[in-house]
A and B are shown apart, each in its own frame.
Chain A
Amino acid sequence: MSVLVYTESENGSFKKIAHEAVAYAKGIADTMGTNVTAVSVNGGDASELGKFGASKVLEVSNEKLKNFNAEAYADVLAQAAKAEGANVVVLTSSANSKFMAPLVAVNLDAGYVPNVTELPSSTAPFTVKHSVFTNKAFSNTEINTEVKVIGLGKNAYGVKENETSVTTEAFSPSLSDDDFSTEVVSVDKATDKVTIADAEIVVSAGRGMKGPENWGMIEELAETLGAATACSKPVSDMGWRPHSEHVGQTGKPVASNLYIAIGISGAIQHLAGINASKTKVVINNDPEAPFFKAADYGIVGDAFEVVPQLVEKLKEFKAQNN
């Protein structure tokens, strides 16, 4: 019996969501009176995971797994779960986790619940709360299988430290050619930009910016804050910004600590997509914009005046506080 957690890494170091996932797994393990085993595929320094509550790290080191491959990774995780006799397998809401979790669930004949927002309210029966209807509601769902697969929602639990003594063990999964029947040919990823998925702060802009040529100030604001940039649906539909920046019900969900919306009126679909963000700020010249009802802080004003002022003020603030 144990709680198994997948710890995502990039270029040999663990991502922040891996720390959060371990912390969450530790929360479950404590209520069930068991321990956390982490699975690390070509990952970072295993002792790092002890800080967040892992008792054991299964280290998989395999050149064939250099690129993420959902089928192979899912197989690794399922084999590890069987070897450890895990009752609960924790993944996250990253693109890779969401890709592999359904495969893991079928492999383990397990019920799978994604977008989980808190620790289980009960472990027998196993009941978890998760967001549905794109954050417009939550469902308390019971998983009735022996093994449970949980997808932790974005930024839902927080990175909680829980120093635990940790051992490492090499784990060699048996992989066949079938595991590699999809092959990654090339990866196109901007390495110098903060992604919406990882960002603690997201700066998002809409039609109020009047045209793609005016995005300079949005990017400057994002850069000042170390934030990712995002946009509303009309802006991506008109091709002002790439689809990958579209936030909302049919775009990306955002669950950042701070979401700043500039010149976005706040259509219901957009608000649903950003609902899981903790603090929301709106800057809009229309005081009747629906976004003001969803926001925590608002400035009624012209973005073309307010944003440059905000950039200046933040630069000053950063200079004083660093």
Chain B
Amino acid sequence: MKILVCISHVPDTTSKINFTDGDTKFDTNGVQFVINPNDEFGLTRAMWFKEKQGATVHVVNVGGPETEPTLRKALAIGADEAIRVNTPATDGYSVAKQLANVVKDGGYDLIIGGRESIDYNGGMVPGMVAKMIDANFVNTCISLEIEGDSATAIREIDGGKETISTKLPLVVGGQKGLVEESDLRIPNMRGIMQARSKPLSVKEPVDANAKTSTKAFEKPAPKGAVKLVDNVDELVNLLHNEAKVI
């Protein structure tokens, strides 16, 4: 089985979000970039398929050279090869188009992405890739087993979960649950050393016009100070008469 894990290169969850160039660009100054957490759960599950079922695992990112350390980290965690599609990630559609091309060229059976990236929260790339390559698709996936070309997945739905039976080729939008937080791997020295010599190929992009473009970012209006109360009577009174939420 050939697995492709799509890695989004995103600001660490503790990052302060600021913008530059008249609020049209994300300010990367002082920001630490990481593997998108939802993708990392998928990557770790892919490692399980590699170790238990002999799968080959490639990772891919669409972005400039600045995203390579993130791909190297994925290699240090255990992926066999990395691919970087050499074009800025402009919108979900154009990224999906680049990934679909990588999938076609590489003949992958299973493509794992994250439910959403924690920066733009688009949540559209895995589904779009699936539609473009005519593969099956399971979103918000919290459990995945593969046997031959059959897949059993559990999907989180609003207020519960459902079990889905389907076939490869399959695209998955993964999240926590695919593996547990405690299963995530911190690259060790050996992994980091090995990652340096693993192949990281740069692939030139195909034509893909973005369908959406950001005109301006804005930050939420500053919040007023908290109103501290010292008893529950007053709290209930405020929630009822002032906030009108109960």
Contact = CB atoms under 8 A, between A and B. Distances in A.
B233 interface: yes
Contacts of B217: 132, 137-140
B119 interface: yes
A140 B214 contact: yes
Contact of B131 (A102, A111, A115, A306): A102
Contacts of B224: 296
A243 B177 contact: yes
A48 B3 CA distance: 47
Interface string B152-192: 10011111111111110000000111001110000000000
A18 B121 CA distance: 22
Given A105-B93, A111-B211, A250 B166 contact: no
Please tell me the size bucket of the interface on A: 35 or more
Interface in A268-285: 268-269, 272, 275, 278-279, 281-282
A159 interface: no
Interface string B201-218: 000000000111111111
A298 B162 contact: no
A156 to B, nearest CB: 13
Given A102-B126, A181-B136, A297 B229 contact: yes
A262 interface: no
A2 to B, nearest CB: 21
A166 interface: no
Interface stretch (B13-21, B62-70, B75-83): B13-21
Interface stretch (B44-52, B53-61, B104-112, B234-242): B234-242
A184 B138 CA distance: 11
B171 to A, nearest CB: 10
A209 interface: no
A301 B245 CA distance: 22
Contacts of A195: 158-160
Interface string A70-84: 110010000000000
A298 B228 contact: yes
A309 interface: yes
Contacts of A169: none
Contacts of A279: 239, 243, 245
A286 to B, nearest CB: 13
Interface string A94-116: 11101111110111001111110
Interface string A130-143: 01111111111111
Q: Name B's interface SS.
A: mixed
A167 interface: no
B166 to A, nearest CB: 4
Contacts of A281: 235, 239
A136 B26 CA distance: 12
B118 interface: yes
Interface in B105-142: 118-128, 130-132, 136-140, 142
Contacts of B37: 249-250
Contact of B158 (A94, A106, A317): A94
Interface stretch (A29-37, A53-61, A211-219, A287-295): A287-295
Nearest to B36: A250
Given A114-B123, A296-B224, 5 more contacts: A105-B93, A144-B210, A195-B159, A250-B38, A317-B240
Nearest 10 interchain pairs by C-beta: A102-B127, A189-B160, A195-B159, A111-B211, A197-B158, A106-B131, A102-B124, A182-B166, A258-B245, A99-B139
